[in-house]
Amino acid sequence: MFPPFPPARRRTLMALCAVICVLVAAVVQGRVERMTRGGTIHPLLYLPSGKYLKVMALGFDGLAADMIYLWSIQYYGNYDIKDRYEYLERIYDQVITELDPHYLDPYLVGALIMTVEARNPEMALRLLDKGVRANPDQWIMPFEAGFLCYNDLHDYKRAAVYFEKAAGIPGVHPLVRRLYAEMYNRAGDKRTSLKEWLEIYRTTDDPYVRNVAWNHAHDLKVDVDLADLRGAVSRFHEMEKRAPHRLLEVVVSGFLATLPRDPEDHDYLYDPQTGEVRYRGGLVLGR
């Protein structure tokens, strides 16, 4: 049927045929991909839960978690996929961290994507809570959860609870203790914040931290003292129908246990005409 080819030419022809076939197959593959793109079935719909994948992984659960994590980084970095956040919690909470509960990065990166990209900080907190439970010796987990409450939710009391948990874990970064102290201030509990900042001031060996703690404690002490003095003067005024002549009068009358002195060990300034109590210096942090 075909004219007889010399063996050398036949080999060349076959090699050429092979190259052409592979190239055409690649073109067809591109066409198939264009056809299947944007299909009705979500690509993540059939990804089994981590519990089942753990069985299928046959002891390679760590590697399976790595592979799905790597894939997730590429998937969530692709802004062309419009509905990519639909299975976000499933991927990080029920698959990757289920396969390898001690793998810290998926908790942190997953929480970041949930907060910054998907705008769902509560979902991120659920993931980080799971990380806290699975890794009680890792301060970074409650720290991240606390930072999320502080920075994104502005829920300072909740943040303080997380920072307190992180601060109790050995090896914690010293910053966590400072954030913990500051959260009470943000939440309006200046007395607890002052107590914590003074504790940091007393216990730290780092001159920089000592200076930072002093600045915070200084301003908080002024705030707390002024609030106490103004409250006592106000109560005195209500009872006696006049302003006290001197601040000491509020102590004598039992409205205040002792007269506080400012951080520089001076008396607070008092104007008997107006009943106004002031601090003679300026606030260090100016808040």
Partner 1 sequence: MLNRVSAIALNTFREAIRHRILYLLLIFAVVMISFAQILSLLTVGSEEKIIKDFGLASIDVFGVLTSVFIGIGLVSREIERRTVYTLLAKPIHRFEFILGKFAGLSLTLFVNTAVMTAWFFLVLSIKGMFDARLGVAVLLLLFQFLLITALAVLFSCLSSPILASVLTLALYVIGHLLWSLELLSARLTTESGRILCRVLYFLLPNLGNFDIKGEVVHGLAIGPGRILWATVYLLLYGTGVLCAACAVFERKELQ
Interface residues with partner 1 (CB under 8 A) are 55, 58-63, 66, 69-70, 73-74, 100, 102-103, 105, 108-109
- What does the alpha-carbon distance between residue 163 and residue 192 come to, in Å, rounded to a whole number? 14
By beta-carbon proximity to partner 1, the closer residue of 74 and 274 is 74
How many residues belong to the chain?
287
Catalogue the long-range contacts made by 147-150 (C-beta closer than 8 Å, 24 or more residues apart).
147/179, 148/111, 148/115, 148/121, 148/124, 149/125, 150/179, 150/183, 150/186
Q: How far is CA 156 from each of CA 125, 146, 152, 159, 162, rounded to the nearest angstrom?
A: 14, 8, 10, 5, 10
CB of 136 to partner 1, least distance (A): 12
> C-beta of 160: minimal distance to partner 1 in Å?
27
For partner 1, the closer CB: 91 or 200: 91
Query: Least separation, in Å, of the C-beta of 62 and partner 1?
Result: 5
Query: 24 vs 63, which CB is nearer to partner 1?
Result: 63
Burial state string for 256-269 with b = 16 or more CB within 10 A and e = fewer than 16? beebbebbeeeebe
**Sequence-distant (≥ 6) Cβ neighbours of residue 88 within 8 angstroms:** 76, 110, 113, 114, 118, 120, 123
- Closest CB 85 distance from partner 1, rounded Å: 17
Measured from the CB atom, the residue of 44 and 73 that comes closer to partner 1 is 73
Q: Please, what is the minimum distance in Å from the beta carbon of residue 203 to partner 1?
A: 28
- The residue among 135 and 185 lying less far from partner 1, judged by its C-beta, is 135
